[in-house]
Amino acid sequence: MKTAILGAGSFGTALAVVAAQNSDEVFIWSHSKDVVNDILSDHMNSYYLPGIKLPEKLRASQDLEEVLLKADNVISVIPTQVTREVWLKAKKFTPENARILVASKGIECDTNELLSDVLLETLGDSFRDRIFFLSGPSFAREIAEKRPTAITIAGYNIDGVTELQSVFFSDFVRTYGTIDVTGVQLGGALKNVIAIAVGISDGMNMGNNSRAAIITRGLAEMARLGKIMGGDPMTFMGLAGLGDLVLTCTGELSRNRSVGIKIGQGYHIDEILNNMRMVAEGVTTTRSAYELSKSKNVMMPITEAVYRVIYEKRKPSEIIPTLMSRQVKFENE
């Protein structure tokens, strides 16, 4: 069995470590010649996952055709905003029977589409039963270090979900399955927005009470939008919802929380992003989530507050009183 990974960032590299457990061949694609050479020469990805020795069987290439040739499984770990662009090139090299597992967590800007829509528009509806989505609480470094992790795989095809569960099952990764494609994707994307909000709170030293409140009410926002868009509200109580939310909002390895902390400390968003090597998906997802909330008439006050801070350049200290003075209501409203 051959597994191909598109995207050699930290998460793509970590998933290559997992795939190597149950695949005969593992190929990873990167647009960066330096990353490819690093993996081939030293079995390391010192640019995105330094200090981790990669499996000897892992091969790297800048050539999409070479990576995708005869692949049984294709793992797409490309930043959300360039996923469509890369797959427009990759589709002609993708084997007819390959399963595609999307591990990116975001919403496409401008269209505000989930990656399931992006992939189906790019590849065609005939791929529907071969496209799957991975999410759940999973920092790349901890996966690569083979620390115990639980993830969720969603797909329209139950049999395919079961098969992919076996591909990724190992002594350090436990896989769960679901058919809630929409809920799993939204959970993975929206939790990044709430993590930025938590980071802002932490950066302003607002305390543990505030952090817990943002996480809990943020989860309510995620589930509200998820239900309107066709997801199962219970999905947000599981690994792809609550699990990933808690990890991203509290973990020291969280990029989105780190962005929020810097904002809370008074740094400008452009300065923060310019000093980051890896992508913080929550920044662009904030805009899409805000626009979706308005178009679907869903109340998402925390998401709106993050939007106003990032895109309207409002100071967090100006926004917090607005959140705290909202009309009182029952918790399940």
Tokens, residue 203: 């950066």
CA distance 136 to 240: 4
SS3 117: helix
The residue length of the chain stands at: 333
Active site includes 294? no
Each residue of 289-321: b (16+ CB within 10 Å) or e?
bbebbeeeebebebbbbbbbbbeeeeebeebbe
CA distance 75 to 91: 13
> Residues 89, 191, 313, 329: which is the catalytic one?
191
Helix (H), strand (E) at residue 309: helix 301-311
CA distance 13 to 328: 46
SS3 320: helix
Q: How far is CA 12 from the centre of its chain?
A: 11
DSSP 113: B
Point out which residues pair with 73 in neighbouring strands: 3, 99
DSSP 85: H
Residue 230, number of CB atoms within 10 A of its CB: 11
Residue 216, number of CB atoms within 10 A of its CB: 13
SS3 145: coil
Tokens, residue 77: 């770990």
Q: How far is CA 208 from the centre of its chain?
A: 25
- Positions annotated as catalytic residues are 191
